[in-house]
């Protein structure tokens, strides 16, 4: 009986130890199942249950470590994806990615703008249904976007035809996308809108053509008159006429060169403004007086200066050059003749005193839809103006920069067929030091208490 009792006691003791270990293991397993990866069984014994508990705790530690690594990898991947999405979304170029079947998998905002198709509609659709690509000769190249580049990356210039029918010139770069096994899984295409570049090329070509014309035009009479004076005996009256022609053409050539040099100096920030007190009446009289020796009989220049105008604090030489440009434009764009009026008066804007100096003509005028462009570099009243009237298209851009540098505004008011008025509005007192360059602006002006006096007719010379 005693032996049986001892056996029962030992069995109960061993069963309790095994049961406690198994309960600890069960509790730990349930904790892991619920997501608590830090839970451990902590079974400490020298028997098989202890070995099982140790193995379980080691496994739980490995799971916790691997899960932490996976979580960090997922966070890193999410951060990288977010950064890539931000980069792709912020690209100025259109990015289109397709899978191995030619379906769109990525379509950034620039691609939406280029194609005129929202990404929600493009994603998942065949790329050929979203973009139509044409060569310069009109050949359909859309099929190139539906397959991965087999011979490696390529690039070419083409045009994208939007769904609304507009054609946009683009530079396309293409490359294949590979999966982890190295197999081709699709392709990515970057399309860069090159409309601006082509416009710059057109402007450059047109500018070079214009400057060649503007430089050759005054050189022709200079060379012709000089050759006649050198090669033959010319009567004295003719000599004077030829010399006058040489001087006039030389002055025209000098004005073209001066405009180019000054404009380049403005763009490079090297043109300095030497501000000093300027009497408005003297300024206007000098400009009108100079032009009184140059215009032809079909034009009549008048001036009207209000009495008692305060002095301006400005660079007189640059203001004179600006008024020369405006008067020259007024004469040039009045091919049928007519009066050109130069006026100066007080312009009140309710805050501080200002002087308005305007130049008006009754020439061809400017179309309403081009008024906002006349102050741009290389701009003229219309596309054919360069050939019809000559010039470089820099004069008004030059004037606008000079006026802005004086804290002023350049205003254009025009009506096709009735003429134009350009007004320089300058403050009497300055709020800052002169600086170059500055963007264009608009303003208005009035004047009164003035007397008008015509000057004698004169002949116009060409304008840059």
CA 248 vs. chain centroid, Å, equals 40
Q: Which of 279, 325, 302, 290 is nearest to 450 (CA)?
A: 302
pLDDT of 222 = 93
Encode burial over 175-186: b for 16+ CB neighbours within 10 A, e otherwise.
ebbeeeeeeebb
Per-residue pLDDT of the chain (464 residues; tens, 9 = 90+): 666 666 666 555 555 566 677 778 788 788 888 888 888 877 777 777 778 878 888 888 888 888 888 888 888 877 777 777 677 777 789 999 998 888 999 999 999 989 888 999 999 999 888 888 998 888 888 887 776 666 678 888 999 988 788 889 999 999 988 888 888 888 899 999 999 888 888 878 877 887 888 888 889 999 999 999 999 888 988 999 999 899 989 988 888 888 888 888 887 777 788 889 999 999 999 999 988 877 777 788 899 999 989 999 999 999 999 999 999 889 888 888 888 999 999 986 556 689 999 999 998 888 887 777 788 776 654 444 444 555 677 888 889 999 998 999 999 999 888 899 999 999 987 655 555 554 334 333 333 334 343 333 333 333 34
Q: For residue 32, report the phi and psi dihedrals to the nearest 5 degrees.
A: -65, -40
The neighbouring-strand residues paired with 155 are: 173
Give CA angle at 320 (319, 325), nearest 5°.
95
- Token pair for 352: 């501080």
Q: Which of 210, 146, 147, 198 is nearest to 171 (CA)?
A: 198
Residues contacting residue 321 through CB under 8 Å, at least 6 positions apart = 258, 262, 398, 402
pLDDT of 430 = 61
pLDDT of 53 = 79
Check if the beta carbon of residue 345 is closer than 8 Å to that of residue 445. yes
Q: Determine the Cα–Cα distance for residues 18 and 148; give it in Å rounded to an integer.
A: 64
Encode burial over 19-34: b for 16+ CB neighbours within 10 A, e otherwise.
eebeebbeebeebbee
């Amino acid at each position: 009986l005693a032996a049986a009792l001892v056996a029962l006691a030992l069995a109960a003791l061993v069963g309790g130890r095994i049961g406690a270990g198994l309960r600890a293991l069960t509790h730990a397993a349930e904790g892991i199942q619920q997501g608590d990866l830090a839970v451990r069984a902590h079974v400490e014994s020298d028997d098989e249950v202890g070995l099982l508990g140790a193995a379980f705790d080691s496994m739980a530690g490995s799971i916790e470590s691997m899960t932490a690594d996976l979580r960090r990898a997922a966070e890193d991947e999410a951060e990288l994806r977010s950064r890539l999405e931000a980069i792709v979304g912020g690209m100025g170029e259109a990015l289109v990615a397709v899978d191995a079947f030619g379906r769109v998998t990525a379509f950034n905002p620039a691609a939406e703008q280029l194609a005129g198709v929202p990404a929600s509609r493009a994603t998942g659709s065949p790329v050929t249904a979203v973009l139509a690509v044409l060569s310069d000769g009109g050949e359909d190249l859309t099929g190139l976007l539906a397959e991965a580049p087999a011979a490696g990356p390529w690039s070419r210039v083409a045009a994208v035809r939007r769904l609304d029918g507009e054609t946009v010139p683009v530079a396309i770069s293409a490359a294949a996308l590979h999966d982890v096994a190295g197999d081709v899984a699709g392709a990515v295409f970057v399309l860069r809108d090159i409309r601006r570049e082509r416009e710059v090329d057109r402007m450059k070509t047109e500018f070079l053509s214009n400057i060649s014309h503007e430089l050759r035009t005054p050189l022709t009479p200079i060379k012709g008159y000089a050759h006649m004076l050198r090669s033959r005996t010319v009567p004295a009256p003719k000599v004077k006429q030829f010399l006058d022609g040489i001087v006039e053409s030389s002055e025209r050539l000098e004005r073209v060169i001066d405009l180019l040099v000054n404009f380049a100096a403005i763009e490079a920030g090297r043109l300095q403004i030497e501000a000093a007190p300027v009497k408005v009446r003297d300024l206007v009289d000098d400009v009108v007086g100079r032009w009184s020796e140059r215009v032809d009989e079909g034009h009549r220049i008048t001036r009207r200066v209000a009495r008692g105008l305060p002095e301006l604090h400005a660079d007189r030489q640059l203001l004179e050059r600006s008024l020369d440009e405006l008067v020259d434009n007024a004469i040039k764009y009045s091919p049928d003749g007519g009066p050109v009026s130069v006026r100066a008066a007080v312009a009140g804007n309710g805050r501080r005193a200002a002087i308005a100096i305007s130049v008006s003509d009754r020439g061809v005028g400017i179309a309403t839809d081009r008024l906002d462009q006349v102050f741009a570099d290389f701009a003229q009243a219309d596309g054919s103006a360069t050939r019809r009237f000559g010039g470089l298209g820099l004069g008004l851009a030059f004037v606008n920069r000079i006026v802005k540098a004086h804290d002023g505004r350049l205003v254009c008011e025009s009506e096709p067929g009735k003429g134009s008025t350009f007004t320089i509005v300058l403050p009497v007192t300055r709020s800052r030091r002169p600086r170059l360059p500055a963007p264009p602006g608009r303003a208005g002006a009035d004047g009164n208490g003035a007397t008008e006096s015509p000057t004698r007719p004169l002949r116009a010379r060409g304008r840059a």
